Each structure stands twice: as structure tokens, then as C-alpha cells.
Amino acid sequence: MKILGIETSCDETSASVICDGRVASNVVSSQRCHTSFGGVVPELASREHERLIVSIADAAITEANITKKELDVIAATAGPGLIGAVMVGLCFAQGLAWALGVPFIPVNHIEAHMFSPFIDEGPSHRAPEGAFISLTVSGGHTLLSVIEQDLSYAVIGRTLDDAAGEAFDKTGKMLGLPYPAGPEIDRLAGDGDPKFHEFPRALTSRSQTSKSYDGNFDFSFSGLKTSVLTFLQKQKPEFITANIQNIAASIQWAIVSVLVEKTIAAARSRGIKEIAIAGGVSANSGLRAMMHAACKKEGFTLYLPGAVYSTDNAAMIATLAGVKLSRGMKAERLYNIAPFASFSSGRPKP
């Protein structure tokens, strides 16, 4: 089966072809027009998607060495995301499916991230046979979920304010780092001391180390942002410049340690020994290293997406569509699916 996936939820325009469960192509164009604004400008994102979508889709089909007429199914992100951006890819994909007379499958962007660690990267990336814990840290979302073998899942924790990715970008902006600031903080933190300054770790407690812990798995990073701002305002510019690596390491530890602690506690409390991390922040080297160490200590199995599949991409969209079809979902010729902006407003069952 040949599936074309389309992803335009934020500032990446992407198309991918999956042939019999394997990635035949995955073309991603990351928009650079937002850099000077320090964040994604929704209207600019929509215009860039509109400008690029046809050429990106054509490139993916060509790279897969097939023709449009050979496609069996087309899938696209229906949300969540910037509504104008989502509409570009969704309308394009539905129109193409209608023109070709093939089924269209709407995909939840966050759900696709959850399964991105299992895109065809070899035996170490095969999906667990039973339930697993998913930590999804993508854009404005930070979610802890229990995913069952039948692809159903329950969200047991989520961010109450800023997400982890937003915390990286906003604190990085305070440090004068270019957008997106997450990779820059990660780079600087590699040569810094995470214990240089103790920033707050909200909604955490020592009781979370207990195997019987079954409490609050929600996240909050707005207090960290305020604490970093207050700290920087008290310092002289030359102090910040001299210690920027240590400050970055301290910020990163405050974010990453909370993610790891709550994920491990969730796995312990439910007797689940397999954990998957997904989303843009899953590329953070500090998070990967700390989660690897924690899982090794606990005897848990850790699943991570390949670097190219951590950020937004269409391979995860097409892959999840293929997984749904392999698990019994019926592909229908529906071409009037409406987009949705938030995770809670239109979350279909996988």
C-alpha cells in the first residue's frame, strides 16, 4: 500500500510517501521567515505553506519513484495546530484525494508524534506488544499518556500553562538566543553546570519516587519562565555573558528533570516497563541522556524517534494512517473533514 502524508500544522511544510510500511520519501521544508519575530507568525506560516505545498508534495512523490495515480490513500494533519496552516495541508490533501478517487484519512498531529518512535528505523524501533507510557513534548503540548495495544490511549498528565518547548524558547529569548532557542540552550548546556543556579521545578515532590505514587502528573513551566526573568534582571550583562553556559544548563536541568521524574513515576505507578518520547523536545540531548539513565536504572525499555522524526514531519502522519489501516480501520472516501486547532477540541480515537 502506498500512502501520501501531508503535514502543515505549524512552520514545517512536509510530504511523505510510505510504501508497505516503509518510508520511501520524507520531504520537509522548515520556514525561516519567523526568525526575526522570535516566534511563529500564523499568517506568514499559512502563506508559506500555500506557496510550498504543491512542490513539496511533488518532490515526495518523485523521490518515492512513483506517480500520483499509484497512491492508494492520502492522509493529512487535521489538527491540532495553527488553524490557517492546518487548513492549507488539509484542503490540499482532501482535494488531491478527491481528484484521484482514493480514500482520505485525517490524522491527529499529536497522536502521530506519539507513534513517531516506531517509524521504520529497524528492530530497535518496533512498537511494544503491550501498553507503553508516552511522553509527548511538541510545540505547545506536553503530555503524558498511557497507550494501549489497540492504539487507544488515556492522557494522564498535561501542561497547565507553558509547555516544555515554550519554556525553552521563552527563556532562550531572555538570554538573547536566536529562535528557536531550544537547540541553542541544548548546545550551551553541554559545557555548563546544571547546579549553577537552582530554578524552580513546579508540581514535583519527593513522593513521586515512590513505586506506589499515583498523584499529579501535570506539568507547569510558567513559574520557571518568571524565575529566569527575575534572576537575569538582577545580574549585570557581563555576568550573564560569562556564565551563559551555566545558566543554560541550569534552565535545561529544571525542565528535563521534571519530564523524566514524572514519566518514570507514571511508569512505576502503572507497572509499565516501556516508555516512548516524541516531539521536538525529544531531540534534546539532556533529556535523552537523563531518560536513558533513568530507564536503565529501572530496567525500562526506552523508545526514541530518529532525529529527523522528532520535529514535525509527514512520515509520522502517513505512518500512523498505515497503522490504523493495519489495525482494522476502514478507509472511506470522505473529503469534507474540518480542521481543529486544539488537542482537546477534536481528538478522534486513533
Question: Does 137 belong to an annotated binding site?
Answer: yes
Rounded to an integer, what is the distance from CA 258 to the centroid of its chain? 17
Distance, CA of 34 to CA of 17 (rounded, Å): 28
Question: Does 191 belong to an annotated binding site?
Answer: no
Distance, CA of 124 to CA of 143 (rounded, Å): 23
| Residue 159 per-residue DSSP state | B
**199 touches 250 (CB < 8 A):** yes
Question: Does 284 belong to an annotated binding site?
Answer: yes
Question: Does 140 belong to an annotated binding site?
Answer: yes
Distance, CA of 18 to CA of 188 (rounded, Å): 37
Q: For 157, left (φ over 0), alpha (ψ -120 to 50), or beta? A: beta
Question: Does 113 belong to an annotated binding site?
Answer: yes
The sign of the dihedral angle between the CA atoms of 249, 250, 251, 257 is: positive
Which residues fall within 8 angstroms of residue 268, CB to CB, at 6 or more apart? 210, 211, 213, 298
Question: Does 241 belong to an annotated binding site?
Answer: no
End-to-end CA, the chain:
19
The C-alpha cell 511533488 sits at 58
Question: Does 139 belong to an annotated binding site?
Answer: yes
Nearest to 144 by CA among 166, 114, 101, 118: 114
Question: Does 312 belong to an annotated binding site?
Answer: yes
Question: Does 9 belong to an annotated binding site?
Answer: no
| Residue 45 per-residue DSSP state | H
Residue 109 identity (one-letter amino acid): H
Question: Does 258 belong to an annotated binding site?
Answer: no
The C-alpha cell 525542565 sits at 255
Distance, CA of 31 to CA of 59 (rounded, Å): 17
Q: Which residues are annotated as a binding site for Fe cation?
A: 109, 113, 312
Q: Which residues are annotated as a binding site for substrate?
A: 136-140, 169, 182, 186, 284
Q: Which residues are annotated as a binding site?
A: 109, 113, 136-140, 169, 182, 186, 284, 312
